Amino acid sequence: MASSEVHPGSEPSRWAYLDRVRTRPGPFTNPDMFNAEGVVAAMEKMKVLVIGAGGLGCELLKNLALSGFKNIHVIDMDTIDISNLNRQFLFRQADVGSSKAEVAARFVEKRVKGVKITPHNNKIQDFDEDFYMQFQLVVCGLDSIEARRWINATLVNMVDEDVEDSYKPLIDGGTEGFKGQARVIIPTVTSCIECQLDMHAPRAAVPLCTLASIPRQPEHCIEWAHVIAWDQEKPFPQLDKDDPEHITWLYQKALLRAREFNIPGVTYSLTQGVVKNIIPAIAATNSVIAAACCNEALKIASNCAPFLGLPDDNYMMYSGNDSIYTYTFRHEKKDDCPVCGQLARDLPVDPAWTLRELVDSFAARPEAQLKKPSVRGEGKTLYMQSPASLEAQTRPNLDKTLAELGLEDGQEIGVTDPAFATVVFKFRLRFKQ
Amino acid sequence: MLKIWSMKKEQQKAENAAEGTAATAPKKKKVTAAQLRVQKDLSELSLGSTMSTEFPDPDNILSFILYIEPDEGMYKGGRFSFSFNITPSFPHEPPKVLCREKIYHPNIDLEGKVCLNILREDWKPVLNLNAVIVGLQFLFLEPNASDPLNKEAAEDLRNHREGFKRNVRQAMQGGNVRGETYQRVLV
């Protein structure tokens, strides 16, 4: 890996095998959707967004670039840490401290001629819907559920039933140790990340009482130092999990507690692992999952073979714990999914209405017929029927007009009613002029 | 999908040319999933006569205080308050609940941390705020000596129940139990 120069002779033949796959139909190709002549040009025009330039992201960028995508953007807010170098193969020791997105983009551009990679050293939340609208495909290699939920909700919200280009397929890869998953989400059409939240095994939390009274494992002692001792003694104003001094403090505390209960095994690196909730990343798992994700991207873009998502299977799970096992299935859409379950319906209202008139109108609307509706907008509680204190606080709003309450045309409101335990109604206010 | 896209592109170009201004619609404010779920949970809450809530900012329903006044059991006559802080990850993550008074209870430590299984290891997104509130209420009816956070209190409860009862009264009056001064919570 000393030289990163491309052998000039390899360039033309580099694409030969890829072209055989994407320009020729296979036994499962849908002839109505496949266009052999246009595939290459269409893929080269397509803009793909990769979210995350870490373990999965490095693999994804390399794979996508070698799969014939020419215009790729990558977002990652992190900088390179020395501990990344064992598996995030686009980074070198000299890159430590630099932006992951920038270094990864530069490296792949250098090695794969003709590909343009635009790095964004940002959080995904820094961009708005206009930004995400420019892509035809989003591929995620993320390590957090929050970020997945955010991009999922954003892509679902962007769907405009009249605009086909507003449906952005989301390919999501994820790994944890020897396990991983690859899934495809067609926003509002197939089950979304929010529908599938229960697929994430929650972190194995230890009962607080076990930590406080009868620790049995070194991890219990560390969690005790982290959750209980830190709060009691507050050695530093704010716990910084990246500050060695803070971790050392926790380590010493955990060690003392472990001695008291005769528990061996508390080490500095275990302390760091438990406190930062680090699950060892396995390079092989990342490459298997990234390959599966990229395969889906290639199929969606070229239609050379059916892809995950439609009409049946949309979720591939992989486990390398005991030899190798994969299972692909269809995760059903949830009717009551708070993100994709019901999209907001337009609600024509007069800004001169009082809130009471709006609330009463829900009883009359045939699709709602609500007897005790509670109404909220983002950051604004309009009227809550329960609990009692909130009812009293929001009751004065009933006599104000929608305009006086600061509601705007196009604003979304959520309506709930105890009679419909599983249903939440979302409406988009449309002001009558 | 490729074919659809290229077709759509052509269509859109035509549409954009026709509509012109449609693209600059104001940024719509959308309700987040966590807030919607909390709204639903709150509108289904059944607090009964022993409990009430207080919202310091009614527009922020992710942060509120729950008051419990047990009408039976050893903690009868006290008034206890819990702060609820709900993150945007709710219901994937449980609400953060702390007891605001320093009280003598085997399952609540002196900082107010609560040992209730569904607040930590047994939390599931299908559970709701009502389940948490019922759980808290139950802690005052049936303090549990086998899951102690306040070890002294648990020992007392296990070994001499009568003494424990006296200690509870003592602590609720703002008295001293085993060298700790507790907060007065009697109403």
Predicted confidence at residue B48, as pLDDT, reads 87
Provide the percentage of residues in chain A whose pLDDT is more than 90.
61
**Interface contact B158, partner A, CB < 8 A:** no
Q: What is the mean pLDDT of residues A20-45?
A: 91
- Asked if A387 and B1 come within 8 Å (Cβ–Cβ), the reply is no
pLDDT digits (tens, 9 = 90+) for A89-104: 999 999 999 999 999 9
Instruction: Select A16-200+281-329's CATH number: 3.20.20.70, 3.50.50.60, 1.10.10.10, 3.40.50.720.
Output: 3.40.50.720
**pTM of this prediction?**
0.70
Which chain B residue is nearest to residue A233, measuring alpha carbons?
B111
pLDDT digit string (tens) for A311-362?
789 999 999 999 999 999 999 998 878 788 767 788 899 999 999 999 988 8
pLDDT digits (tens, 9 = 90+) for A192-240: 998 998 777 666 677 888 888 889 999 999 999 998 899 889 899 888 8
Domain A345-431 has CATH 3.10.290.20: yes
Query: Using the beta-carbon criterion (under 8 Å), do A232 and B32 form an inter-chain contact?
Result: no
Cβ–Cβ gap B121/A128 under 8 Å: no
A413 vs A418, more confident: A413
Is B31 an interface residue toward A (CB < 8 Å)? yes
Q: Which of B42, B61, B115, B131 is catalytic?
A: B115
Nearest to A209 among B2, B26, B148 (CB): B148
Does the pLDDT at position B28 exceed 60? Answer: no
pLDDT in tens, B51-88: 999 999 999 999 999 999 999 999 999 999 999 999 88
Catalytic hit among A209, A293, A304, A340: A209
Q: For B5, which of A136, A200, A418 is closest by C-beta distance? A: A136
Interface with chain B: mutation pick from A23, A160, A208, highest number of B CBs within 10 Å? A208
Hey, where are the domains in chain A? 16-200+281-329, 208-276, 345-431
Record: contact A411-B149, CB cut-off 8 A: no
Q: Which residues of B touch A301 (CB under 8 A)?
A: 1-2
Comparing alpha-carbon positions, the chain A residue that sits nearest to B118 is: A207
Interface test with B, best of A209, A214, A370 (most B CBs within 10 A): A209
Instruction: Indicate if B115 belongs to the active site.
Output: yes
A366 cis-preceded (ω within 30 degrees of 0): no
Under CATH, what is the fold of the domain A208-276? Arc Repressor Mutant, subunit A (1.10.10)
pLDDT at residue B25 in the model: 43
Judged by CB atoms closer than 8 Å, whether chains meet at B54 and A205 is answered as no
Determine contact: B81 vs chain A, CB below 8 A.
no
Yes or no, beta carbons of B25 and A146 under 8 Å apart: no
The 10s digit of each residue's pLDDT in B162-176 is: 999 999 999 999 999
Q: B184 to chain A, minimum CA–CA distance in Å?
A: 22
Calculate how close chain B gets to A408, using CA atoms only, in Å. Answer: 8
